[in-house]
Structure 1
Amino acid sequence: MKLEFKIVRQTEEASPYIQAYHLDAEPGSTILDCLNQIKWEQDGTLAFRKNCRNTICGSCSMRINGRSALACKEKVGDEVERLQAIAASTPNSTNGTVPSITVAPMGNMPVIKDLVVDMQSFWDNLEAVQPYVSTEARRVPEREFLQTPEERERLDQMGNCILCGACYSECNAREVNPDFVGPHALAKAHRMVADSRDGRTNQRLEQYNKDMSGVWGCTRCYYCDSVCPMEVAPMEQISKIKQAILEKDTAPYSRAINHRRTLVNLVKEGGWIDERKFGLRVVGNNFRDLQGLASLGPLGLRMLVRGKFPLLFEPSEGKDEVRSLIESVKAIESKHL
């Protein structure tokens, strides 16, 4: 099949530009196969990373038609079908005679050249969560780090991460908050929280609970889950860390924690959220945050003027069932932490 590859090219600190290449490829060829063909037969100056070519090393992660993916995993036939399906569902779209595939460098990292990015921040943020077992048992060298099959099974999903950077590339929180460590780091962080051999669980939870650099910096957009080639589900792991923090009675106060607890408690009480109590409990911290309470005044007045302030609250008829569901889910989650 005839293909057009539009590759976003760039040198360090220069403006990007698009260069088009035309080639013939089989539908079963991967994007990486095509990039190799372009480099070997048309343009030897094209720069990109690769290594195993078998979805193991994670080196060839890049943005393919707007989403981060592994070039060695994505086949051109599947990609063309996906683009055609999108075009068919889009009004006034036009299909070219030659399918066009756009390849760009990953996001949230500066470009070194073409499709090669500087991943230093990616590695620095991974190191920041200390993604290795740290335990007092290390002081006894003859002791083995034994685990039951069930304990080891809890680590399987996070252990599948190949550190390709796809989730980091698509992270909205990282894009607007340079202090956020990223979904890759927090997925590895949960592996440590769930590891029965680790002796620093409480200290880890305190670290991951800090301001907006840890789990509370996540915007829950689920982009990381959607692009992960190994189904690690970073967003799911972040949620598990949040749950572990919330279940600690000694967790220091923060508005993020209070927001989560209040939301769950209000739904348990009435089946849905009582907005009157929500602001007072979260922003006003149950009348302990006077500055927060004062900030609610102007908003409350505007709501009253526009008739949007709920004077009454009627609990849901199914509140008991909602409460039962919440407790059941928490019981299930606690078994996997």
Structure 2
Amino acid sequence: MKVTFKILRQNDNLSPHFQDYTLEVNQKNTILECLNRIKWEIDGSLAFRKNCRNTICGSCGMKINGRSALACKENIGDELKKISFGEGEKNPQIIISPLGNMPVLKDLVVDMSNFWHDLEKVEPYVSTKARNISEKEFLQSPEERKLLEQTGNCILCGACYSDCNAKEVNDNFVGPHALAKAYRMIDDSRDELREERLTQYNDVKSGAWGCTRCYLCNEVCPMDVAPLDQITKIKGKILARESRGSSTPVRHRKVLVDLVKDGGWVDERKFAVMVVGNYFRDVRGLLSLAPVGLRVLAAGKLPFSFEASEGVFEVRSLINAIQSATKDNGNLSENIK
């Protein structure tokens, strides 16, 4: 069958533009195999990265029909199932473009410097005084080692970073790849900087709270590392050790649980004041609420009383049970959410 590949071409001298290449393909062919044929048989100027061809190195990351993926892993048949093919079209089309959130050097090759710099910010390596003793081994039990298996599968392909909405709007955010590696360090029994790391990852803009929980990183990860899950675990451990005064995100989650536990649902009269206004302690925060508060009041949408939900006792018992069951593992509020 024939398939047309619409590839976004660009370099320093030309504006981005799509160029079409039509190939006779087999549905089992991978996208990378097709790109190789285009380069070898049609247009040798096409630029893209590749190496292992076996989902190990992560080099061939790119956007395929708008989704970040590895070209060596995705095949023609699976891609054609995801797209609609109009009657007026001669051939089905597969759109190939470079990864997002990174500057393009040429065609499908991006500059990953910021990707690596963001990773370095979380210090993704074991830090312990013991490693100064050359003859000492880092012994771990099978249970301790098992905690590192999922995050250890990350091949740093950049797919999660490319599709990250938080990174797109907040350049200070280190990205899902970095925080997935960060959680590995927190769970590593050999590391001695766990508390320092949790303090660092508690940063509102660059740390775990910068994540918008869009779930895209989990969806595009080719190795099932589930970066969002790892970020959620970091949040849980931060919540277990930090007080309400630590940061607005910490206070947001703790107040939410307290209000739901108290009344079965959120008392909106108290929520903003307690979170943004820090229980009337933050004057600047309270002043920031004034414009919204006045508009809500004028619209008649500010309740002057609060009535607990009918199932408040059941809700409270569920929260108490979760708090009791998760008290030791540091995932209290995130499990409740």
Is this a same-fold pair by TM over 0.5? yes
Asked if residue 224 in structure 1 is aligned to residue 217 in structure 2, the reply is: yes
**Could you tell which deviates more after superposition, 159-168 or 258-267?**
258-267
Structure 1 unaligned regions, length at least 5: 88-92
The Cα offsets for residues 174-205 of structure 1, whole Å up to 9 and x where unpaired, read as: 11111111110001000101111110001001
**Residue of structure 2 equivalent to 1:68:** 68
Alignment map for 1:95-244 (pairs within 5 Å): 96-244=89-237
The structure-2 alpha-carbon separation of the partners of 1:14 and 1:323, relative to structure 1 and needing over 3 Å to count, comes to farther
Contact 2:32 2:71 in 1 (8 A): yes
The separation in 1 between residues aligned to 2:36 and 2:305, in whole angstroms, is 66
Aligned length: 330
RMSD of aligned alpha carbons: 2.0
Match of 1:255 in 2: 248
* Letter paired with 2:309: S
Of 317-326 and 103-112, deviating more is: 317-326
Displacement of 1:26 in angstroms is 0.5
TM-score calculated relative to the size of structure 2: 0.92
Q: Deviation at 1:149? A: 1.5
> How far 1:252 moved relative to its partner?
6.1
1:261: how far off?
Answer: 1.6
Moved over 6 A (4+): none
> Once the 2 structures are TM-superposed, how far is the Cα of residue 293 of structure 1 from its aligned partner?
1.7
Contact 1:270 1:316 in 2 (8 A): yes
Q: Report the CA distance shift for 1:120/1:302 in structure 2 as closer, same or farther (over 3 A).
A: same
1-structure distance, mates of 2:77, 2:250? 46
**1:93-140 CA-partner distances (Å, limit 9, x unpaired):** 766231100000000101111100000000011011000010122233
Query: For structure 2, which runs of at least 5 residues remain unmatched after alignment?
Result: 332-337
Partner amino acid, structure 2, of 1:244:
K
Instruction: Give a deviation string over 1:22-81, Cα, whole Å, max 9, x none.
Output: 001100100001001111111111110011111111000100000100000101111001
State how far apart, in whole Å, the 1-side matches of 2:167 and 2:76 are: 30
1:25 aligns with 2:18: no
- Shift in CA distance, 333/83, structure 1 to aligned 2, threshold 3 Å: farther
Deviation, 1:323, is 3.7
Contact 1:154 1:336 in 2 (8 A): no
Are residues 1:15 and 2:15 paired? yes
Change (3 A) 1:336 1:286: closer
Given that 2:236 and 2:330 are in contact with CA atoms closer than 8 Å, whether structure 1 keeps it comes out as no
User: TM-score under structure 1 normalisation?
Assistant: 0.92
Look up the match of 1:315: 308
In structure 2, what residue type is equivalent to 1:290? V
Distance in 2 separating the partners of 1:224 and 1:334: 28
Identity %: 61
CA–CA distance in structure 2, aligned partners of residues 19 and 181 of structure 1: 33
Instruction: Measure the CA separation in 2 of the matches of 1:266 and 1:251.
Output: 14
Cα distance, 1:210 vs. partner? 1.9
Please say if 1:290 is aligned against 2:283. yes
Pair 30,323 (structure 1): closer, same or farther in 2 beyond 3 Å: farther
| CA distance in 2 between partners of 1:324 and 1:150 (Å) | 32
- The 8 Å contact of residues 245 and 278 in structure 2, kept in 1 or not, is answered as no
How far residue 211 of structure 1 moved from its aligned partner, in angstroms, is 3.2
Equivalent residue of 1:46, what SS?
A: coil
Letter in 2 for 1:228: C
Is this contact kept in 1: 2:5–2:95, CA < 8 A? yes
> Using a 3 Å threshold, how does the CA distance of structure 1 residues 325 and 47 change in structure 2: closer, same or farther?
farther
